[in-house]
Chain A
Amino acid sequence: MNRKACITLVLILLFCSSFLSQTGTKKKRPLPYEYGRVVINNYSEQGNLAPVVFEHWIHRAKFTCRVCHVDVGFAMKAGGTGIRAADNERGFYCGSCHDGKKVVEGKTVFEACSNPVNSADAKRCERCHSLGKKVPSDFDFFVFSKPLPKERFGNSIDWEKAEELGLIKPATVLEGASAGRNALPVQRDFALSPKVEGMPDIIFSHKKHTVWNGCELCHPDIFVGVKKGTTHYTMEDNVEGKFCGACHTTVAFPLTDCQRCHSKPVHA
């Protein structure tokens, strides 16, 4: 092969490799106000409506995870609930709060869906069915987050600290949805050893997790292992949305915030 042919071949290979390297899907890191956003499109477009854009940050400031994902019954995966307008009209799912009657912080919560729908309702529908639309909101993320303690990732809010300081007070029950129950007993925290040498142990706070989630949100659907140490979790699993990743890739602080979990001091 002559020199010219060799150079041409090398150039072709270089071109192809650079092209191939761009074909992977790069996941854009969400901005603080986008983190936790869920787009729901089970039936919206079938009904000639834009998909629903659900902002977790507004809702998690007012309710614990358990209220919505246990008592109200929202699935843990986007689109997993299969919410229909009729469900909301009957006072379930979004309609559990968004019924046009409940008053939160002095404001009447707008009604999620109603039947019949008339032209005057269009703006109300758009408050949720807003994907691709510029819909004014009653809540401004930057105004809301300004007084709250900061974090590096996710919503850039340290939600746990915000609650500790009394800056947010997420409700633990929702009238009409939550079954009357006792306060949660305090759970013991425990350490988990990572497989990678030199990586600090994970301090898993059972206490923090049960306060917001209760027990049945995690067991047995997300964490099926009964005995500590019987289920082996990998970071790959977490990244794929299993185990810790069920929340810590979507709503709770993300997996990139290593020190939040790998927090046990390493002693030489």
Chain B
Amino acid sequence: MSQPIMIVLFISAGLAALGGTRAIGGPSLRTAQSAPVKESWQKEFEDTCSKTQDAMTFSQEELTSLISRCDDLQPQIEKLDETRKKVYLRRLKMCRGLYAYVLDSKRNEKK
């Protein structure tokens, strides 16, 4: 292969690699704000944690299931980039904490 072609290929590969790295973090989120393309963990997070205001109406079984879904989400969120990990782990902690709190409250009521 001739030298100019090698150089062009090398530069193209470098640029593609850089683009790939950026897409993991922020810029994808900027796009996400205008046209949200949600990843599976995010859909699950939103579905699980969008119910906190209804926590008092759930049965103990439903609350236990929501807590378990939160626990399943944790390892997935821990694999994210530093920013998203920080944001979503805190949010998950609050959401799980509330479900556990309400579950405790319901168990105490029965005693």
User: A-side interface residues toward B, CB under 8 Å?
Assistant: 70-73, 75, 82, 84, 86-87, 89-93, 99, 101, 175-176, 179-185, 210, 214-217, 219-221, 224, 226-227
* Residue from B33, B84, B88 with most neighbouring chain A CB atoms (10 Å): B33
Residue from B29, B50, B56, B97 in contact with A179 in the complex, judged by beta carbons closer than 8 Å: B50
Known contacts A91-B33, A226-B108, A227-B108; A215/B52 CB under 8 A: yes
Contact check, A227 vs B83: say whether CB atoms are below 8 A apart: no
Q: Mark B38-57, 1 if CB is under 8 A from A, else 0.
A: 00000001110111111111
Residues of B contacting A215 with CB < 8 Å? Answer: 52-53, 55, 98
For the complex, give the distance between the alpha carbons of A179 and B48 in Å.
9
Contact check, B83 vs A73: say whether CB atoms are below 8 A apart: no
Known contacts A219-B98, A220-B101; A176/B36 CB under 8 A: yes
Contact check, B94 vs A226: say whether CB atoms are below 8 A apart: no
Instruction: Report the minimal beta-carbon distance from B33 to chain A, rounded to whole angstroms.
Output: 4
SS of B interface (majority) = helix
* Known interface pairs A86-B83, A179-B49, A185-B57; 14 further A-B residue pairs with C-beta atoms within 8 A, sorted by A's residue number: A87-B83, A87-B86, A90-B30, A90-B83, A91-B26, A181-B52, A185-B54, A214-B52, A214-B53, A216-B97, A219-B101, A226-B101, A226-B108, A227-B108
Contact check, A216 vs B90: say whether CB atoms are below 8 A apart: no
For the complex, give the distance between the alpha carbons of A227 and B105 in Å.
7
Query: How many chain B residues touch A (Cβ–Cβ < 8 Å)?
Result: 37
Contact check, B46 vs A92: say whether CB atoms are below 8 A apart: no
Residues of A contacting B29 with CB < 8 Å? Answer: 90-92
For the complex, give the distance between the alpha carbons of A210 and B53 in Å.
9
Residues of B contacting A75 with CB < 8 Å? Answer: 90
- Nearest residue, chain A, Cβ from B46: A179
Instruction: Report the minimal beta-carbon distance from A241 to chain B, rounded to whole angstroms.
Output: 19
- Nearest residue, chain A, Cβ from B99: A216
Contact check, A221 vs B97: say whether CB atoms are below 8 A apart: yes
Contact check, B53 vs A182: say whether CB atoms are below 8 A apart: yes
Closest CB pairs A-B (n = 10): A90-B26, A179-B50, A179-B46, A220-B101, A216-B98, A216-B94, A181-B50, A176-B33, A226-B105, A91-B29
Contact check, B98 vs A89: say whether CB atoms are below 8 A apart: no
Selected A-B contacts with CB under 8 Å, 14 pairs: A73-B88, A73-B91, A86-B26, A87-B86, A90-B30, A91-B33, A93-B87, A176-B33, A182-B53, A214-B52, A215-B55, A220-B100, A224-B101, A227-B108
Contact check, A92 vs B94: say whether CB atoms are below 8 A apart: no
Contact check, A181 vs B51: say whether CB atoms are below 8 A apart: yes
